[in-house]
Amino acid sequence: MKSPKAPEDEKLRLAKLRSLRLLDTGYDVCFDRLTRLTARIFEVPICVIGFVDEDRQWFKSCMGLEISEVARSVSFCGHTITCPDILIVEDTLEDERFIDNPMVANEPHIRFYAGCPLTLDQRKLGTLCIADHSPRSLDQRQIEILKDLASLVEQQLAATLLATKDGLTGLENRRGFVALAQQSLQLCTRQGFPVSLLYLDLDHFKTINDLHGPEEGNRVLIAFADLIKDVCRDSDVVARLGGDEFVVLLINSTREQSETVIHRIKDALVHDNRLSGKNNDIDFSYGITSYQPERHETIAELLADGDALMREIKRLRCEESDSGDVPAAAGSSWSGFAHRDTTTG
């Protein structure tokens, strides 16, 4: 048996794969429909839509197998993503790469395999593959059909990626944030890393749209999003939840370290010329919520606490504004207002 080699673009390929937020996710009717259709067309007992991760092949949709992943070292699809085209193995017992593969020698006793790479943005992320317990071959018409079916899977992958992105700023949207942040939260929990959630809200944003129009409002949102990305680390998860609300999940970050990030954002806002122009009298409010494993079982619960905290901060600010007792920071250009922590419950 020969273990598959890594493609030359392995690092970029893995980065693209993980940007889909599909690994270790649950049932998806769209992908399952395609595996059923493929199995029916080719009359095979096994059909898989699988993604080749760093050390495993994980099955997003699988027919005919009772497992959800295999080691990359024994995966057929690990070989497929290094091929320029479809990989067809008519008889595994006559191919030195697979003759003693455990999936050939033992259950499910694969004798025939055909896999078509799934490519997104020129990166081969996984395969649509079929397998049988007996040797067989594919003619040219069948090869083209398998390619067409793989193209349908690729279209679904592209739609999945778009569904997790905010169309205006390019940040994660709420769906993308929840999926990616949940994975990060689980990792930090296992490692015992501190996690903080920043909730940012632009003040008086409606006034920008009313006075200068939505085009100027969009320009401000895009510039603010770019600035947050520049300040934060690649490991942090930055998202626009909608409107003028942004969140950042800070990985391995205490509350004090999170305050440092806020100060960097405020400093960048003052000096960044992308935000110069018609709007120089806007503030942003923020809240910092510390992750507590006993309180936040999911990212949705942490997000809910952050949202509640921000609403309270906005309410207090409105009350202080109405009473004339407005904090000095509130009158400054692009300044933060306040933060509170939930560590006391």
pLDDT tens digits, 51-97: 999 999 999 999 999 899 999 999 999 999 999 899 999 999 999 99
- The contacts of residue 141 (CB under 8 Å, 6+ apart) are none
Say which residue, 136 or 251, is predicted with more confidence.
Answer: 136
* Cβ–Cβ under 8 Å, residues 339 and 259: yes
- Is beta strand 56-63 parallel, antiparallel or unpaired with respect to 195-202? unpaired
In this structure, the chain runs to a length of: 345
Tokens of 272: 């960044």
pLDDT at 195 over 50: yes
Query: For position 329, what pLDDT does the model report?
Result: 32
Phi, psi of 126 (to 5 degrees): -175, -155
Query: For position 114, what pLDDT does the model report?
Result: 98
CATH number assigned to the domain covering 174-331: 3.30.70.270
pLDDT at 345 over 50: no
Say which residue, 342 or 187, is predicted with more confidence.
Answer: 187
The lowest-confidence range among 99-108, 151-160, 177-186, 267-276 is: 267-276
pLDDT tens digits, 283-306: 688 999 999 888 888 888 999 888
Helix (H, G, I), strand (E, B) or coil at 73: helix
Query: For position 160, what pLDDT does the model report?
Result: 81
Tokens of 311: 């609403």
pLDDT tens digits, 203-214: 888 888 888 888
Tokens of 105: 């020698």
Helices (H), the chain: 10-19, 29-42, 77-80, 102-105, 140-163, 174-191, 205-212, 214-231, 255-271, 299-323
Helices (H), 81-126: 102-105
Query: For position 338, what pLDDT does the model report?
Result: 36
pLDDT tens digits, 4-50: 999 999 999 998 898 787 888 887 888 999 999 999 999 999 999 99
Q: What percent of the chain is modeled with pLDDT above 90?
A: 53
Residue range 214-222: mean pLDDT, rounded: 90
Helix (H, G, I), strand (E, B) or coil at 338: coil
Query: For position 113, what pLDDT does the model report?
Result: 98
How many angstroms separate the Cα of 31 from the Cα of each of 34, 36, 127, 210?
5, 9, 12, 44
195 exposed, middle or buried (CB, 10 Å; 0-12, 13-18, 19+)?
Answer: buried
Rg (CA), the chain: 25
- Asked if domains 10-163 and 174-331 share a fold, the reply is no
pLDDT at 151 over 90: yes
The lowest-confidence range among 126-140, 200-214, 302-316, 330-344 is: 330-344
Mean pLDDT for all residues in the chain: 86
What is the rounded distance in angstroms from the CA atom of residue 335 to the CA atom of residue 313?
Answer: 14
Query: For position 328, what pLDDT does the model report?
Result: 34
Query: For position 323, what pLDDT does the model report?
Result: 64
Q: Pick from 81, 84, 75, 94: which is nearest to 136 by CA?
A: 94
Domain boundaries, the chain: 10-163, 174-331
Upstream peptide bond of 194 is cis (omega within 30 degrees of 0): no
pLDDT tens digits, 326-339: 443 332 222 233 33
Say which residue, 343 or 317, is predicted with more confidence.
Answer: 317
Residue range 230-247: mean pLDDT, rounded: 91
What is the rounded distance in angstroms from the CA atom of residue 186 to the CA atom of residue 192?
Answer: 10
Kindly report the number of other CB atoms within 10 A of residue 182's CB atom: 19
What would be the CATH architecture of the domain defined by 10-163? 2-Layer Sandwich (3.30)
How many angstroms separate the Cα of 237 from the Cα of each of 180, 181, 225, 288, 344?
7, 6, 12, 15, 25
What is the rounded distance in angstroms from the CA atom of residue 128 to the CA atom of residue 48?
Answer: 6
